[in-house]
A and B are shown apart, each in its own frame.
Chain A
Amino acid sequence: MNPLIAADLLAPNLGLIVWITFTFLALLFVLKKYAWGPITTALAEREERITESMEQADRALSEAKKLQADNTKARKEAEAEGQRLIREAREAADRLRSEEIANTKTQILTLQEQAKQEIERERDSALDSLRLEVADLAINAAEKILNENLDESRQKKIVADFLSTLSKN
């Protein structure tokens, strides 16, 4: 290999340096203005859009989940409420019925009591009037039988004795 030609590889070439400098500057300018600008902004825009959509989706999902949870909770609450209402109604009905029964019982008892008292009272009054009637009858009868002068204290004593035997019956 000839050393002179080998030196070719490293030979300085000012003209080429100038050409390449302008070429690369022009390329840099053209690409920056017409290529990298639109491309990088578009990519950034798209990334932002994707991030935004994903966030939105996440938000929507969590919202939906929350809504679902709310719904489930509301349904459960409604169910519990219904159960409670039914139970309360049943309890109220039970209470009402037992109260009714108790009322009726007491009423019956009161009526029975009243009736008993009435009967007692009627019986007493009947006995009283009977006793008076009997006394009158006895007196009348005694007067008729003993039309003689029997003193009054003696009469009364006889009657009282008679009556006491009556009342024992």
Chain B
Amino acid sequence: MKLQKQNLLAILTLSSLLVVPAREGFAMQDAEQHAEEQEVGNIAAEAEDHAAEEEQLDPVHHGSDSYYLDFTPIGKLQLPRIFLVRGNDGSFGVEVYRSTDSAIDRGGYLPKMEEGVHSVLDAKLEPDNGHILIDFSLTKHLIFAWLSALIVAFIFIRLARMYQRGIGRETPPKGLFQNMFESLVMYIRDEIAVPVLGAKSDKYLPYLLSVFFFILTCNLLGLIPFGATATANLMVTAVLASFTFILTQIGGTRDYWKHIFWPPDAPVFVKLILIPVEIMGLFTKPFALAIRLFANMTAGHLVILSLIGLIFAFTNLFGPIVGFGVVPISVGFALFINLLELLIATIQAYVFTMLSALFINMAVEEHHQHVPDHRESDLGRLVEAAVPVESLTS
């Protein structure tokens, strides 16, 4: 067994999980015994252990998901691995390990070292007996999504308490905290929900608020040191877009479905062309939502890391003196992109919320006999206003 990371966070996250004991048992117990012995100095050893892998800076790898929290140069915090396994004998089981190392050493998992994989931490694991059905392992992006959810819940439950105490309800709002977050809530309500959804805004406001603040917090967490952007993960943005998609379809009126499956005001042969287009349109909207957020959040990080990477590239090519010379330029540009990302983090949260509201409204609004010309309508103008934003980072 390799060195084990012992950390309060790991225990917290593990203990919060609902765990079904696996057929091969819980790896936890041995792990705890070892953990005490190895508590001291393991971080330094860990850093040494993986030091060789860090010589090359790989922006894509940095931005992608992983089974550890990267605190380089301090070390890496491996996250618990949870597998839904189907054994060779056909049995199902859930296996939980404290870390990737533990899964390999205790659980007998084999890391598949494919080309380009430098560390077992990034390798795909294969159980010795059977195969993994679903990998429920906690990942960096999941941890940061949880962190965002906790931050959002903490902030807004605290805000709600203030209103329940009467501050802001019977008296004017008090203090920076309440004023700041109230203005954001009011902005979503008065600038997105009400203008787009009109009378139905009350029904969808909780979703729009939740999605806005969750995405915003996820985006911003990616900008802090050692942070990761959960929204730079296509799975996360796809799930969020699916929520919008499902809400849209659930709220769809008769007119909405009629426009898709039998568009009015069109000759029959045009209808036959339109129907597949409309059905595709159902899915392209959430697809665009997911891709837009994912690409915007990934792109910014790639640009920053590439700029920082220039330092090392120049050092390798022309020697350390040129490398040092590039530092101010690289850092200056990276700082600029970082500030731009701060803007984009907010804009993308806004755009996702605004477009969600628009898509929901297209389904739930009471249509008149034909679809209004989108360029003429308010919605059309809002959509057009939102479009240039996408191209900011592309």
Contact = CB atoms under 8 A, between A and B. Distances in A.
Whether chains A and B associate is yes
Interface of A: 1-2, 4-6, 8-21, 23-24, 26-28, 30-32, 34-40, 42-43, 45-46, 49
B297 to A, nearest CB: 11
Contacts of B234: 9-10
B58 A5 contact: yes
Interface string B58-73: 1011011100000000
B235 A9 contact: no
Given A5-B116, A15-B135, A32-B206, A38 B160 contact: yes
Nearest to B242: A21
Given A15-B82, A16-B235, A35-B157, 20 more contacts: A9-B60, A13-B65, A13-B135, A15-B136, A16-B236, A17-B239, A18-B134, A19-B136, A27-B149, A27-B214, A31-B156, A35-B153, A37-B160, A39-B185, A40-B205, A40-B206, A42-B163, A43-B163, A43-B189, A46-B168
Contacts of A42: 163-164, 168-169
B238 interface: yes
Contacts of A39: 156, 159-160, 163, 182, 185
Contacts of A34: 153, 156-157, 160
A15 B157 contact: no
A13 B169 contact: no
Interface stretch (B47-55, B101-109, B140-148, B360-368): B140-148
A16 B233 contact: yes
B4 interface: no
A36 B205 contact: yes
A39 to B, nearest CB: 5
B135 A14 contact: yes
A36 B206 contact: yes
Nearest to B185: A39
A25 to B, nearest CB: 8
B389 interface: no
Nearest to B84: A15
A38 B206 CA distance: 11
A40 B163 CA distance: 9
Contacts of B63: 9
B209 interface: yes
Q: Which 9 A-B pairs have the closest CB atoms?
A: A42-B163, A35-B156, A2-B116, A8-B64, A15-B136, A38-B160, A42-B169, A36-B206, A32-B206
Given A43-B182, A46-B169, A31 B209 contact: yes
Contacts of A4: 114-117
B186 interface: yes
A50 B273 CA distance: 54
Contacts of B135: 13-15
Contacts of B146: 23
B168 A13 contact: no
A16 B115 contact: no
B61 A8 contact: yes
B160 A32 contact: no
21 contacts: A1-B60, A8-B60, A9-B234, A9-B298, A13-B135, A15-B135, A15-B137, A16-B142, A16-B235, A17-B239, A19-B145, A20-B145, A24-B149, A26-B149, A28-B207, A34-B153, A37-B160, A39-B160, A40-B185, A42-B169, A45-B169
